[in-house]
Amino acid sequence: MVDELQVGPLSVTVKHSCIRRDLFDIRLGRAFPRGIRELLAPRGVVRGGDALFTVDVSGVHQITVAVGTGRMVVMPKLATERADQRRAALGLARQVAALIEGSCQPRER
């Protein structure tokens, strides 16, 4: 483990994945709210169902979301520098925290 921090209601654990990247384990401790998929979908290509899905954000990271357990794993792309990996993952965590806290609504389609 590299670091542990709190982003609103989310616990973020940063773990060493390999020499070029860290893994970001983001947990709510309960199910994610409705709207999590709609919040993340504009970021990239979404695959999977309502309970478990991934979002492949080109050139940045892959996000795996387990809606029912309130867990999200962010695996950065190897080409992304560590500081940028952290900035992107924590920005994502802030956006999800805002959704959970009710101050951010997903875009209408």
Reported as a single tens digit per residue, the pLDDT across 9-28 is 999 999 877 777 889 999 99
Say what percent of the chain tops pLDDT 70: 93
Residue 10 in any domain: the answer is yes
Q: What is the pTM of this model?
A: 0.87
Residue 61 in any domain: the answer is yes
* Residues whose CB falls within 8 Å of the CB of residue 10, separated by 6 or more in sequence, listed in order: 26, 27, 28, 93, 96, 97, 100
Number of domains in the chain: 1
Q: How many helices (H) and strands (E) does the chain have?
A: 2, 7
Between 92 and 20, name the one with better pLDDT.
92
Residue 25 in any domain: the answer is yes
Closest CA to 93 of 3, 25, 45: 25
First to last CA, the chain: 39
